Structure 1
Amino acid sequence: MKAKGSITKQEAELEISKEEVDSFFKGIIPQFVRDAGGILSDNVRFWRWKNQVKIIKQAEVIVKESGLQKKEVPLKVLVPLIENSSLEEEETMQLKWANLLANAATGKVNVTPNYVAILNELSPLEAQLLDILYDNVIKESDYQKRKTMQFGKDKVCEVLGLSSESFDLIIENLFRLGLCRPPGSTGIMFGDSRVALQTTSVFELTTLGFDFVTACR
């Protein structure tokens, strides 16, 4: 039984973390929300709280390193971002949530509500594939060429060690989210002609996909 007036290690960690979180949110959450107890304290389990704190601390470092000033973030972006990020335990994905939060807080990249929803629906492997595509297309400065740059299923399966079925499940989800598309969206080149083709064997990163990955970096 805990002695009256004593404080547990977890309670001490929460108190310290609360001060750090309050400091980060100063200026980006309306005062009335902070005065009402904030958006993080409503029946949040301790493990979710720890995830939130870790991501917020990472975001704070990113903001400081950017040298940019924080601004108020719309609640329809901020609330689901904080809530959904608290469920993420994979470190690579936590970093993406932290980058998304930092970019929203500084306005460096336009972060829309659908980006929060998209990140919440991605697996680490799907996010890894998007990063690979992004690292290739960003080398192309011409927008028209960039958005029609095509990638092959076999090469991706080789790089990520995926079976054909596993790849199809991943790419079809990215199609569903609008982050990638089959070349049938714009056509595939046969000689001088562009022919519509519905397939998972060849695909492209969409403009939405490119901008989304940018927002998570």
Structure 2
Amino acid sequence: MNDLTGLGKVAESVDSVTKELRQLIYEFLSPGTKGAGEYIADKVRYLRFMNSVRAMQKAKVILESMGVDNVHIELRNLVPLIEKCSLEEDDTLIDKWANLIASAVVDKSFSPSYISILSSLSPIESLVLDTISRNSRPIMKMGIYQYYGVELHILVDKSNCVRADLVGVLSNLERLGLILRVFENEPALMFGNPPIGTMQSELIGLTPLGGRFILACDRKLEVGNGIPHIDLSILSTEVI
């Protein structure tokens, strides 16, 4: 009987993808946890296989370009990485998942919170976050950190996001702990709680968490692209 519905081809495709996903999972598992491979594969079997495969393949390319051979990831990070990235359909965010997987391999300070943060971002929220880091200017030093910020009208222009939508986007980024709000031209630089977008002196910048998260999701970025960082000149003159 002819496969008029095409189900046979679909089944073959799913089976092929499942095998590829299993192989990729095994490559990222450390030797002591190989037995968990079947568990992980079963757990994600009914999720979006192709998205997981795409992200993990891209991660392998990134790691190969870095000369990294040992690609093992802690089990507690590998499972949610596979689950969460399998649900993503946006190409730009899949690229970020690939970078995050690579970061889980090479960064000793990798935080599991990055996984839940990335899974909470919409494409426009991710775009605005990138726009903040790429268009910020130095605004202040607090403790040992140099902070950066960008005016709201620049965010509106660079992100092609209408102001009303931008306010909602920034509210979620603030809720996730990724951005901070600073008010210039006041009696003193200050943090505050006025509604977003109501003061002309308001600037939006990344928190240290936001900066580290962006770096983890883009291996090509370097500190200085609007990323809060420790000012070594302060370290040389102040006792911590």
- Please indicate the TM-score interval, normalised by the length of the shorter structure: 0.7 to 0.9
Distance in 1 of aligned mates of 2:20 and 2:171:
40
**Contact 2:18–2:45 (8 Å) recurs in 1:** no
Q: Secondary structure at the match of 1:194?
A: coil
Aligned residue identity for 2:117: I
CA drift of 1:50 comes to: 1.4
Deviates further, 73-82 or 19-28: 19-28
Q: Secondary structure at the match of 1:149?
A: strand
Partner of 1:57: 57
Partner of 1:41: 42
Q: How does 1:163-182 map to 2 (within 5 A)?
A: 163-182=162-181
CA drift of 1:33 comes to: 0.6
Where does structure 1 lack aligned partners over 5 or more consecutive residues?
Answer: none
> TM (normalized to structure 2)?
0.73
Partner of 2:215: 214
Distance in 2 of aligned mates of 1:40 and 1:159:
41
Partner of 1:89: 89
Aligned length in residues:
204
Q: Aligned Cα RMSD in Å?
A: 2.9
Q: How does 1:1-217 map to 2 (within 5 A)?
A: 8-26=8-26, 28-29=28-29, 30-34=33-37, 37-42=38-43, 44-45=45-46, 48-105=48-105, 107-108=106-107, 110-136=109-135, 147-183=146-182, 188=184, 190=186, 193-199=188-194, 200-201=196-197, 202=202, 203-217=204-218
Distance in 1 of aligned mates of 2:90 and 2:147:
32
Deviates further, 112-121 or 12-21: 12-21
Distance in 2 of aligned mates of 1:151 and 1:127:
16
Where does structure 2 lack aligned partners over 5 or more consecutive residues?
Answer: 219-240
Change over 3 Å in CA distance of 1:43–1:101 after alignment to 2? closer
**Contact 1:147–1:206 (8 Å) recurs in 2:** no
**Contact 1:115–1:212 (8 Å) recurs in 2:** yes
**Contact 2:18–2:49 (8 Å) recurs in 1:** no
> TM (normalized to structure 1)?
0.80
CA drift of 1:150 comes to: 1.9
Distance in 2 of aligned mates of 1:115 and 1:196:
25
